[in-house]
Amino acid sequence: MKQGFVHLHNHSEYSLLDGACRIDELTAYAAEQGMPAIAITDHGVLYGIIDFYRSAKKQGIKPIIGCEVYIAPRSRFDKQPRIDDDLAHLILLAKNEQGYQNLIKIVSLAFTEGFYYKPRVDKELLEKYHQGLIVMSSCLAGEIPQQLLAGNYSSAVETARYYDDLLGRGNFYLELQDHGLPEDKTVCQLLCQISDETGIPVVAANDAHYIKQSDAAVHDVLLCIQTGTVVSNEQRMRFTGNEFYLKSAEEMAGLFAWRPDAISNSLLIAELCRPAAHNNGYR
pLDDT, one tens digit per residue, over 182-236 is 999 999 999 999 999 999 999 999 999 999 887 667 766 666 777 788 777 877 6
Tell me if 77 sits within 8 A of 101, measured CB to CB: no
Q: Whole-angstrom Cα distance, residue 34 to residue 184?
A: 27
The per-residue pLDDT for range 132-188, each reduced to its tens digit, is: 999 999 999 999 999 999 999 999 999 999 999 999 999 999 999 999 999 999 999
Secondary structure element (H or E) that encloses residue 107, with its range: helix 97-112
**Domain annotation covers residue 33:** yes
What lies within 8 Å, CB to CB, of 146 at 6+ separation is 88, 140
Sequential DSSP letters for 165-207 = HHH-TTSEEEEE--SS-HHHHHHHHHHHHHHHHH---EEE---
* Residue 4 within a domain: no
Maximum CA extent, the chain: 49
64 lies in a domain? Answer: yes
Domain for residue 240, yes or no?
yes
Q: What is the CATH number of the domain that holds 41?
A: 3.20.20.140
Angle, helices 23-32 vs 49-59, to 10°: value is 30
Half-sphere exposure of 211 (CA within 13 A, CB side): 17
First to last CA, the chain: 24
Distance CA 21, CA 175 (A): 21
Q: Which residues contact 44 (CB under 8 A, 6 or more apart)?
A: 67, 68, 69, 70, 107, 110, 118, 119
Please report whether residue 81 resides in a domain: yes
Instruction: Tell whether 251 is covered by a domain.
Output: yes
17 falls within a domain: no
Tell me what pLDDT residue 112 has.
98
Cα separation, 203 vs 136, whole angstroms: 8
> Residue 39 is part of which domain span?
23-277
* Beta-bridge partners for 118: 116
For residue 15, the 8-state DSSP code is S
Query: Number of folded domains in the chain?
Result: 1
In a domain, 15, yes or no: no
User: What integer pLDDT is reported at residue 221 of this predicted model?
Assistant: 64
d(CA 68, CA 177): 15
Give the pLDDT of residue 241. 74
Collapse the DSSP code of 246 into the 3-class scheme (helix H, G, I; strand E, B; otherwise coil) and give the result.
coil
Model pLDDT, residue 1: 41
User: CA-CA distance, 274 to 99, in Å (whole number)?
Assistant: 10
Residue pLDDT, tens place only, 145-158: 999 999 999 999 99
